[in-house]
Amino acid sequence: MHTIAELVEFLNKIGQGHLAQNIDKFTEQQQKEFLEQVNKLNTTYPGGLEEYTKRAKVLLKNSADNVNPYEGFVPSVPIGEKVNFSSFEEVAGLESIGREELNHTAFVLVAGGLGERLQYDGIKIGIQFEITTGQTFLNYYLDFIRAFNEKAELAIMTSDDTYTLTMKLLEENNYYGFPKDQITIMKQEKVPAMIDNDAHFTQLPNSLLIETKPHGHGDVHTLLFQHQLPKKWIQQGKKWLVVFQDTNPLVFRALPSVLAISKTKNLEVNSITAPRKPGEAVGAICKLTKGNERLTINVEYNQLGSLLPKEPVDEHGYSVFPGNINSIVFSLQEYDSVLEKTKGLIMEFINPKYADATKTKFKSSSRLECMYQDYPKLLENDNRVGMTQVNRAFCFSTVKNDIKTAGQKFQQNLAPESASSCEQDLYFMNRQILKLVGVHVETSDASDYEFENIKLNLSPQIILKPSLGVTLAEIKNNIKNTQVTITRNSTVVLDGETFKNASDKLEIDGQFNVPANYQSKTKYRTFVGVDSKAAQHLLIRGYDVKRD
């Protein structure tokens, strides 16, 4: 569309003529901006705004008619492999297969979400997620991916909310040493907001411009298709694609084993799952059956009720339906073919808030949304869709909740998913890893701190840099014959250099290799509560290092 006349004709054709009703009351410049916006929205959405309106009308009708998308489906527990991290041997066998596959793996980080629940003013990948070295999530992810494979490629999905700050974080930190030409930044665009069942778009106050809202993380598939990245990666000899979310550092330790399962079980889609408690804000992976139809899929936490009014639990109180941790391994060849057929546009949903029982008008505008874990709905059959259930301590702890909400969740015996619980879980995992490779680590089951109503077990604090190894075998090889002991009150950073010239024994009691600005002046490092003047990354966890 080049002219206002063409624009008006187009809007009338797609049933959005109301947008141009008062167009003459606006300046030429405003009309031009409107034309540009419609052109942009029309090209970024696969199929254009006509298709968007068409899809919205169908979904809005279903919603008004109370159509239950799971009607007639019977849920059962999907079959999958388990990785328990119960012994060195169990994991090392898998990791030796997965380690090789990591040389043929591309990575995608979905980081377009604002994280409103966290109340953190900034992008989540820029959070210092542990205060032993102060590294950011992004730093940790890039270090891991580079340690997996120097030639690994990474795509990051950003949005209008996160693009500028993501670029700033990368530029200011010199891409954390990651080769710049191996990173692709993608940006998801928002979609039109609608106000009634006829999918009429809304406009910003006193403006011609259409109100837009986020379309959800499912956009990642469309963007990968539009950037033609799967094709490029296949040409480079890559076989796998790992998609992961913005605040879960633990999952990198599970990836070598999970890739081994993708390979040995020949899985086209392999979702990583972890035990979840009923009521947690974590989707459940279910096998749904209706006649001959079979679908292994995530059922989102806010929809579980319509499928499973009462969730069955095991003897530990965990749901028998494992939790989706939104880290998925795809086989690239099949993934590329599916994108070619579907443009990566996965099934959307709408969640209108109705103004009254007639269900005709909305209280506030609504838009189509999509989720990346709905990808299996694009497949013709689910024969090669599987999951790997990993010991939660080795794959899942995120930072999603502000500290007050997190405290309430802790009191309800649910995972707090706060900056404090994620930091605690990282140290816990690293202690377990060292124990699995034969290091003597003094630990206790008792918590040693309490901040903002959350009991924490933070000691000893251990950071294992990926340069020490990305598999248990690599870590063991690096430590060689050094007999390492770590006391409970210690704070320890181990990396690829630590054992280069080490002797037979390394007895750590206190702070070891901790950067100066994260040390306490005393022998043992301790934590103290913070007040409202503290830096944001400390406020969201409720404590800081006691400096003197």
Interface residues toward ligand UGB, by CB under 6 A = 110-113, 157, 159, 214, 216-217, 245-246, 281-283, 298, 300, 324-326, 371, 398, 400
Q: Which is nearer to ligand UGB, 99 or 217 (CB)?
A: 217
Of 165, 205, 203, 211, nearest to 185 by C-alpha is: 165
- Smallest distance, Å, CB 481 to ligand UGB? 40
Inter-CA distances, 478 with 87, 146, 168, 469, 494, Å: 19, 18, 35, 7, 10
Buried b (16+ CB within 10 A) or exposed e, 80-89: bbebebeebe
Of 168, 172, 214, nearest to 191 by C-alpha is: 214
Q: Which two tokens stand for residue 36?
A: 């540009």
> Alpha-carbon dihedral of residues 491, 495, 497, 502, nearest 10 degrees?
50
Cα(497)–Cα(454) distance, integer angstroms: 35
Q: Which is nearer to ligand UGB, 301 or 512 (CB)?
A: 301
Angle between helices 48-64 and 28-44 (to 10 degrees): 70
Q: Which two tokens stand for residue 86?
A: 């119960």
Q: Which is nearer to ligand UGB, 272 or 470 (CB)?
A: 272
Phi-psi region of 105 (alpha: psi -120 to 50; beta: other; left: phi over 0): beta
Cα(122)–Cα(114) distance, integer angstroms: 8
Q: Which is nearer to ligand UGB, 98 or 214 (CB)?
A: 214
Inter-CA distances, 527 with 2, 459, 548, Å: 62, 10, 11
Phi–psi pair at 273, nearest 5 degrees? -130, 160
Neighbours of 363 (CB within 10 A): 11
Q: Which is nearer to ligand UGB, 286 or 473 (CB)?
A: 286
Q: Which two tokens stand for residue 426?
A: 């990282």
Q: Which is nearer to ligand UGB, 254 or 514 (CB)?
A: 254
Residue 173 identity? N
Q: Which is nearer to ligand UGB, 155 or 456 (CB)?
A: 155
- Smallest distance, Å, CB 503 to ligand UGB? 43
Q: Which is nearer to ligand UGB, 110 or 147 (CB)?
A: 110
Q: Which is nearer to ligand UGB, 366 or 461 (CB)?
A: 366
**Rg of the chain, C-alpha, whole Å:** 25
Cα(361)–Cα(353) distance, integer angstroms: 9
Q: Are strands 483-486 and 505-508 parallel, antiparallel or unpaired?
A: parallel
Q: Which is nearer to ligand UGB, 16 or 298 (CB)?
A: 298
Cα(14)–Cα(119) distance, integer angstroms: 39
- Smallest distance, Å, CB 246 to ligand UGB? 3
C-alpha 373 chain-centroid distance:
10
Q: Which is nearer to ligand UGB, 261 or 272 (CB)?
A: 272
Of 308, 321, 307, nearest to 274 by C-alpha is: 321
- Smallest distance, Å, CB 330 to ligand UGB? 16
Q: Which is nearer to ligand UGB, 214 or 542 (CB)?
A: 214
Q: Are strands 269-274 and 323-331 parallel, antiparallel or unpaired?
A: antiparallel
- Smallest distance, Å, CB 370 to ligand UGB? 9
Cα(116)–Cα(399) distance, integer angstroms: 11
Does residue 517 sit in helix, strand or coil? helix
Phi-psi region of 177 (alpha: psi -120 to 50; beta: other; left: phi over 0): left
Q: Which is nearer to ligand UGB, 419 or 437 (CB)?
A: 419
- Smallest distance, Å, CB 169 to ligand UGB? 14
Element housing 540 (H / E):
none
Cα(252)–Cα(394) distance, integer angstroms: 9
Q: Which is nearer to ligand UGB, 197 or 212 (CB)?
A: 212
Cα(463)–Cα(140) distance, integer angstroms: 11
**Residue in the structure block whose two tokens are 């015996």:** 413
- Smallest distance, Å, CB 540 to ligand UGB? 15
Asked if 430 and 466 count as a contact pair (C-beta separation under 8 A), the reply is no
- Smallest distance, Å, CB 467 to ligand UGB? 25
- Smallest distance, Å, CB 353 to ligand UGB? 17
Asked if 512 and 491 count as a contact pair (C-beta separation under 8 A), the reply is yes
